[in-house]
Structure 1
Amino acid sequence: MQSSEVQDKLTFEELLPVTDIDIRSLAEIYDEQDIYLSVYLPVSGRENEHLNRIFVDSRVSAIKKALDPEIRSEFEKTFEIAEFSIFDSPISGEKGRIIFASSKASFLHVYKLAVEPEQSFVLDTSPYLLPLARLRADYEDYGVLLVDSQEAKFTCIRSDIAEEKKHLSTDLMNKHKKGGWSQARFNHLRKGAIKSFLTEVAENAQGTCDQLQTKGLILAGPGEAKQQLMELMPQEMQHKVLGVIDVPIDIPRDELVEAGNAVLQETRQSESRDAAEKLKSEILKGGLAAHGIEDVKAALEQARVNTLLILNDSSVAGWLCERCQNLQVSANPPEECDRCGGPASAVDIVEELYELAQRSGAEVEFVEKEDFLDSDDVVGALLRY
């Protein structure tokens, strides 16, 4: 099968923010057999090109050896439709690539990213989404408002792609001319002009944030203008400010992204710690919480989970019957489901719980080991009821 015969084909020729990938729709896809290939690769530089070929060849060989002849044939067809997209040269600015493919389902989705995923090459009953979920957690959309007393630039940063959305400026007389106004009157008028300008900036920033639906806003720039701007913002807008940083007004775009990402990372870590602390508190008082795979799985199946907490980089071996959705922890899957007799496929339990969360509309937080969850209880849940 050639890629031109693929019916559900989605290939982006420009860099795509990870938040634009419809992960919920991908979570709805599954089959009774292992027919979906998921590939995550860092693609920038010749070294990655060489390492990717070695990695992919190794995984293809290993997967072929593990499959029975019928599924092996489907895998070979799937790899054929995905191979060009896997090894195609990166476009300008591309650092990572994600490919989901299935020959049987006539399905090929290719996403080119400005951020770098870890190598992964998985054949499963559905697209493998945990690496994408972790990227989305690390690279949420946010705005940076770069401001001084005369100029303001609103830049939206999406997966390290910086797009300037607004640029405002004002003309201020910076030197008092001899024979003109008194210095006191000049200073008073100048302060009034600055306040008027910053008020306009605050109004524009609120409208832009609402329109773009960003996670929040970082105030950046030299001097005191950003603090004055903060004071002029309505309280609702102040709550969206993730941080305030001192940078030059002419800071290069890549340095602005780096500084903004550092603030975002601190915010993410704080939110994860808060969620883990809330989970701990609810468990201790017997409140709306579940922990451990079995309890969390049951709550997800009943659509009772408000927030699923996952220990970062965790993985648990198990099996799933795609016919009846029987999900069990086990290092050795049976030949058939003990509930309905359907085919049992080896899965990562954490991946399956994440997909259940997506299907039921639950939020997901990735937390670190020191934030309460551990290798014995890799998942927890804050419940709706």
Structure 2
Amino acid sequence: MQPKPEFTSISPGNLVAVTEIDLGALAEIYDEMDIYLSIYMKSASTADLDASRSFVASRFRAMEKSLPSELRESFRSTVSLAQEAIESPSWKGERSRVILASSPESFLHVYRMGLEAEPLVVLDTSPFLLPLARLRDEYLDWGLLLLDSQEAKLFVIRSRIMEEMSRSSIDLMNKHKKGGWSQMRFDRLRKGAIKSFFTQVAEDLANLDNLQGMRGLVLAGPGEAKSQLKELLPPQVRDRVLGLLDVPMGTVPSELVKMGDQVALDYERSVSKKRAEELKSNVLKGQLSSYGIDPVRDALTHGRVNTLVMLSDYVVPGWICEKCQHFQEGARPEVCPQCGGRTSQVNVLEELYELAQRTGAEVEFVEEDEFLQSIGGVGAILRY
């Protein structure tokens, strides 16, 4: 009998941005048996929590009835491990929680998020990550620069959580007191000071290391300041600007996040559409592409995929061998034809996503695309 693994628990004491969850590491986890329980709950209110708990309990009862006898004890133990996280009250700002648990592996991860996830309970050979992957694709971190001619505030928005990174300002009246100057000279000096201020802000943005890890930057504020600043940005930063928002400097943070989120989401959808068009073009021209479950799986296995393009919320029924991890589309055989191992039903797109995570391929989710649907909901843009 193998010794029980050392207990691994991750349960941050604050709301977590979906980009903070290490999906790559989680995608590496799997077992030959269905021992990983993945629970997604709505938790924005007491009513949401009560409904989610009722749904989770009903799924537990149905699962236990359908499990083979040799898995029931570990299932009950895993349910007990997750129970405290299921029953705990909601935190301020929390809209959903994700619980990933396995008693046999001494494994418990609990993530509370400010994003909403649909209730779901899955028992599988690995943590079920597709809902988190879709949220991550939709809510990548983005930056917001709120500015006018005298002040600039830089924020980062992570899963609708707004954090101020820096601020700078210039006191024009104290810097250039009018005194006996002519109005023309005062205006000229004032414009020079504003341009110098914008130039400094542009330089600060260019030196911002974590901008490269964000989706991009939204410029917001009243008047022409944001447009003037955009023209001063170096090309590599200007290309990261997602859009402009015309708002007062005193706009409340929740409204800034709401409006900026829409700009960032519109930009992401345009990127997804371009990826889908690129895939279609490559397929029709016979260039670097692959489509269909088996060819895409094989390309991922050999590290040939640059970008995996999938329809969001699409389901492709299939099966996976819990021993050798081979998976494919279609009806589940009793045993794996390759190794004779035990098989279980899966959404094949989840397995493709996890394989993409393990092989370093980018993943692009597309909401609607007729061509992508016509080729089975998934395709790949290849490296070679």
> Shared fold (TM-score greater than 0.5)?
yes
Tell me, yes or no, if the aligned pair for 1:273 and 1:371 is still in contact at 8 Å: no
* Structure 2 unaligned blocks of 5 or more: none
Q: How far has the Cα of 1:208 moved from its partner?
A: 2.9
What does 1:93-132 correspond to in 2, within 5 Å? Answer: 93-132=93-132
Deviation at 1:375, TM superposition (A): 6.1
Cα offset, 1:376, TM superposition: 5.3
Evaluate the alpha carbon distance shift between residue 219 and residue 209 of structure 1 in structure 2; reply closer, same or farther with a 3 A threshold. Answer: farther
On the 8 A contact 2:312/2:366 being kept in 1, the answer is yes
CA distance in 2, matches of 1:90, 1:193: 49
Offset, 1:81: 0.1
SS at match of 1:215: coil
Change (3 A) 1:7 1:315: same
**Residue 265 (structure 1) aligns with:** 265
Aligned 1:30-69 pairs, distance under 5 A: 30-69=30-69
Contact 2:276/2:369 (CA < 8 Å) preserved in 1? no
3-state secondary structure, aligned to 1:310: strand
2:296 aligned residue: 296
Q: Which residue is equivalent to 2:201?
A: 201
Equivalent pair of 2:291/2:375 in contact (CA under 8 Å): no
1:88-167 equivalent positions in 2, closer than 5 A? 88-167=88-167
How far does residue 338 in structure 1 lie from its aligned partner after superposition?
1.6
2:324 counterpart residue number: 324
**Shift in Å at residue 370 of structure 1?**
2.7
Q: Name the aligned partner's letter for residue 61 of structure 1.
A: R
Structure 1 counterpart of 2:352: 353
Q: Structure 2 CA distance, aligned partners of 1:170 and 1:371?
A: 52
C-alpha spacing 1:179/1:202, structure 2 compared with 1 (3 Å): closer
The match for 2:333 is 334
Task: Give, in whole Å, the separation in 1 of the partners of 2:134 and 2:335.
Answer: 32
Question: For residues 72 and 291 of structure 1, what CA distance do their matches in structure 2 show?
Answer: 39
Residue 153 of structure 1 aligns to a residue whose secondary structure is strand
- Measured after TM superposition, the shift of residue 313 of structure 1 is 0.4
1:25-74 per-position Cα deviation (integer Å, ceiling 9, x unaligned): 00000001100000111111111022112101110111111101111211
Q: C-alpha distance in 2, partners of 1:71/1:177?
A: 80
- Once residues 15 and 116 of structure 1 are traced to their aligned partners in structure 2, the CA distance between those partners, rounded to angstroms, is 12
Q: Residues 293 and 328 of structure 2 are in contact (CA less than 8 Å); yes or no, is this contact kept in structure 1?
A: no
Counterpart position of 2:188: 188
Q: Normalised by the size of structure 1, how large is the TM-score?
A: 0.95
Q: Do the aligned residues in 2 keep the contact of 1:242 with 1:267 (CA within 8 Å)? A: yes
Deviations 1:64-117 (A, max 9, x none): 111011112111110100011122112221111111100111100111111111
Contact 1:42 1:48 in 2 (8 A): yes
Match of 1:231 in 2: 231
CA displacement at 1:325 relative to structure 2: 2.1
Read off the aligned partner of 2:219 and give its amino acid letter.
Answer: L
Say whether 1:378 aligns with 2:377: yes
Give the letter for the 1:85 counterpart. Answer: A
Distance 1:179-1:74 versus aligned 2 partners, 3 A rule: closer
Q: Distance in 2 between matches of 1:153 and 1:60?
A: 48
In structure 2, what is the Cα distance between the partners aligned to 1:289 and 1:376? 12
Task: Write the distance in 2 (CA, Å) between the matches of 1:376 and 1:199.
Answer: 49
Per-residue deviation at 1:191? 0.2
CA distance in 1, matches of 2:244, 2:209: 16
Indicate the SS of the match to 2:163: strand
1:253 corresponding residue in structure 2: 253
Shift of 1:198: 0.9
1:247 counterpart letter in structure 2: V
CA RMSD, 1 decimal: 1.8
